Structures are given as structure tokens and as C-alpha cells.
Amino acid sequence: MKKHKIISVRNLTSSTFVIRLERNNLQFQTGQFVILNLPNSSDKREYSVYSGEKEDYIEVLVREVQGGKVSAKLKKMTVGMELQMEGPFGFFKFNPDAFECRKFLFIATGTGISPFHGFVKTYPDLDYQLIHGVRLNEEAYEHDDFQKSRTTLCLTGEEGGDFFGRVTDYLYTAQLDIETNCFLCGNSEMIYEVFDILTGKGIPVSNIYSEVYF
């Protein structure tokens, strides 16, 4: 377990932020997660790596949770402070060369967009579509890093996205190539519902990969 110094903190909303840390030669495969340990505390939490494999730093996307032991303390940390990091861990690894069909669908809710940000940063020439579900426009976390033509923003709390309604509502209307490889990241309820929708549309179970955030 190594210490990693905070290089910068990027606030995306009043409760969501990106912490950039020194990489310290940490080797990971995009899609994996690390465990951040608070200094002088036993409190720790898992975060998907938000940055790409080729960058010389490591980033995590954090949403402050009311009553959360770790996220609230991370919100107060500043440049120059250190965090202990364990990992990487996880089987949500991504390498497009491992797939016969290189067409990908990424489905996320909230901060579940984090691993997909790492995917496109690592492989900028991907043939992908991203469907991201949040309540408000401001929660479209750094969508500028995704190609606009490949991104569908589903909003449930206000107008202004590409679709008004939940990710599942949008998927019922979507035309999908059954050879597409589908990656799901978000809350368990969404993942179960989306899994049923995708298989109902003919996507093989073997083409569906998921990472449950909460």
C-alpha cells in the first residue's frame, strides 16, 4: 500500500469532484478500481479509476454522500495531502482487442460513468455508444470527454438532455445490434432492469458485463 499525493481537486458540482493523485508507477487496466484509505483512519472506500491507462496520474470521481464516512472527508482534502491506495482490483477490465465484435454500449447512472471515462481516455478510437442517466444537467460529469454523437443523456429531474426519463425507459425504444458488447455500471436496481431489457432484445448474456456501485 503506497501513499499518493493529491495533485489537484476538480469540483464538478457542489457534491461531486475529481481527485487527481500522483500515479507512482501504479499499473492498472482500465475498468479496475482502487481503495482509498483516509490518513490516520481505518475508513476506506473503493473507487473506479476515472483516468486512462496512459496518463501519468490517477484520478477518481467522488460524490459526497450524506453521512458517508469517506466521501465527506475526501471533500475536505486539498492539494499536497496524501492518501494511501490499495489495488488495483476488480474484473471489470476492458480491452477492445479481446472482442470479436468491437461495437460497445456503455450504460451508466450517476457516478457509474467513471470506468467508461477511463475506457474512452485509454481507447479514444472506440466504436461506442454511452447512455448516462442522472437527475440534472449538471450531473453530466465531463461529457465533453465523450463524443457528442455517441452520447445519450437521460434526465429525470429537468428538461435539456437527449431524453427525458430513466435509462431503462430509453432502452425500451432503442434499436440494438445483438452482437454489441454491453457494459453496465450503477445501482443494482438499474443493472437488473437493464439486463432484462437487453436479453429481451436478443443480446446474449455472454455479451453483458456489469459493475454494481451501490
The model carries a pTM of 0.93
Contact indicator for 47, 36 with CB cutoff of 8 Å:
yes
pLDDT value for 16? 96
End-to-end, the C-alpha distance of the chain in Å comes to 25
Contact indicator for 183, 173 with CB cutoff of 8 Å:
no
Report pLDDT digits (tens) over 99-128.
Answer: 888 999 999 999 999 999 999 999 999 999
Contact indicator for 121, 31 with CB cutoff of 8 Å:
no
pLDDT value for 173? 92
Q: Residue 167: CB partners within 8 Å, gap ≥ 6?
A: 107, 109, 131, 132, 133, 154, 186, 190, 194
**Helix H or strand E segment including 209:** strand 208-212
**Surface-to-core class of residue 192, CB atoms within 10 Å of its CB (0-12 exposed, 13-18 middle, 19+ buried):** middle
Same domain for 100 and 80, yes or no, is no
Tally of CB atoms within 10 A around 191: 20
pLDDT value for 64? 92
φ, ψ for residue 75, nearest 5 deg: -60, -30
Amino acid of residue 36: L
Residue-number span of the structural domain to which 136 is assigned: 96-212
* Lookup result for grid cell 499499473: 27
Q: 76-115 as b/e, with b when 16 or more CB fall inside 10 Å? A: ebeeeeebebebbebebebebeeeeebbbbbbbbbbbbbb
From 34, 57, 89, the end of a domain falls on 89
Same domain for 54 and 155, yes or no, is no
Confidence at 214, pLDDT banded by 50, 70, 90: low
The three grid cell numbers given for residue 213, joined into one nine-digit string: 456501485
Same domain for 102 and 43, yes or no, is no
The three grid cell numbers given for residue 21, joined into one nine-digit string: 493523485
Amino acid of residue 25: N
For residue 149, what is the domain's CATH number? 3.40.50.80
Same domain for 59 and 154, yes or no, is no
Report pLDDT digits (tens) over 153-211.
Answer: 999 999 999 999 999 999 999 999 999 999 999 988 999 999 999 999 999 999 999 98
Contact indicator for 184, 209 with CB cutoff of 8 Å:
yes
Per-chain mean pLDDT for the chain: 93
From 89, 106, 122, the end of a domain falls on 89
Mean pLDDT within 143-148:
96
Strand, coil or helix: 198: helix
Tally of CB atoms within 10 A around 35: 16
Q: How many domains does the chain have?
A: 2
Report pLDDT digits (tens) over 27-80.
Answer: 999 999 999 988 878 889 999 999 999 999 999 999 998 888 889 899 999 999
pLDDT value for 100? 85
Tally of CB atoms within 10 A around 145: 15
From 56, 89, 122, the end of a domain falls on 89
